[in-house]
Amino acid sequence: MVKLFYSMILLAGLGLAASCTKTQNYGGTAVQKMANGWWVKAYSSVNGLVSITPPANPAGSDSAAGHIYITTYNTSGNTNDSLWADDLGAIGAYGPAGYDFKATLGANYTSYTISSAGTMNLYQTSNPVKYAVGQVFPKGGRSRTGVVTDSLILKIVFIANPTDTLTVEGVARTGFDADDWPASPYSPPA
């Protein structure tokens, strides 16, 4: 009985030791340094501020102050030469129509630049992106509370209105609640 008890302890110890292996590092996406959630304001060269957000209460004390949440993320091909830019329908919800975008844009991962021409816009299939240019600036911005984070500027021209440039600029989401704009109807999921 004692031998059986010691044998069971030995087997349990070996099983425990064998289970302590390192977790495999699967890496990130091909554009992981350019992919993020962003708190931005959007401006039209014709209409001014178009990222209009409603106040969360009548006094408007916790208004998002025109900030909306957009995302950039890798394409299904996971290559370093393209990424998705998506305003999650935020601009058209409260601002003027014709500025929403969800498009695959060209990316240069070494210089953190974005450029594209003649790209389909999935939110407005009749209004594709004529061209887009932009850049991600690593540690180039500050959040609401002063945390150093990446910044983004993106300029988009749509085919339906080639004389109007949409400029989207802002900073990367830090993940800290104090840096989020709580009144934005397009806040990131918790």
Tens digits of residue pLDDT in 33-49? 999 999 999 999 998 98
- Per the CB < 8 A criterion, the answer to whether 160 and 126 are in contact is yes
Q: What residues are paired with 153 via a beta bridge?
A: 135, 169
Which stretches within the chain are classed as H helix? 2-18, 90-94
Give pLDDT, residue 185.
Answer: 54
Q: Which two tokens stand for residue 165?
A: 């440039």
pLDDT of residue 190: 55
pLDDT band at 61 (very low <50, low <70, confident <90, very high): low
Residues 6 and 50: their CA atoms lie apart, in Å, by 73
Domain ranges of the chain: 36-179
The rounded distance, in Å, linking the Cα atoms of 3 and 29 is: 52
State residue 92's pLDDT score. Answer: 74
Q: What is the mean pLDDT of the chain?
A: 86
Q: Closest Cα to residue 117, out of 165, 156, 80?
A: 156
Please, what CATH class does the domain formed by 36-179 belong to?
mainly beta
Mean pLDDT within 61-79 = 85
In angstroms, the Cα distances linking 21 to 10, 12, 15, 17, 26 are 19, 16, 11, 8, 15
Q: Which residue has the higher pLDDT, 68 or 4?
A: 68
- For residue 189, the model assigns a pLDDT of 58
Question: Which residues on neighbouring strands pair with residue 84, listed in sequence order?
Answer: 73, 104
Binned at pLDDT 50, 70 and 90, residue 65 comes out as: confident
Which residue is associated with the tokens 């919800």?
A: 93
Q: Quick one: which of 101, 111, 112, 104 has its CA closest to 82?
A: 104
Q: What share of the chain is helix, strand, coil (3-state, %, to 5)?
A: 15, 35, 50
Q: What is the pLDDT of residue 51?
A: 84
SS3 120: coil
Residue owning tokens 């900030």: 67
Q: What is the pLDDT of residue 62?
A: 54
* Residues shown for the chain: 190
Count of C-beta atoms within a 10 Å radius of residue 85: 25
Structure tokens, 145 = 């509370």
Give pTM, 2 decimals.
0.80
47 vs 114: which has the higher pLDDT: 114
More confident position, 27 or 133:
133
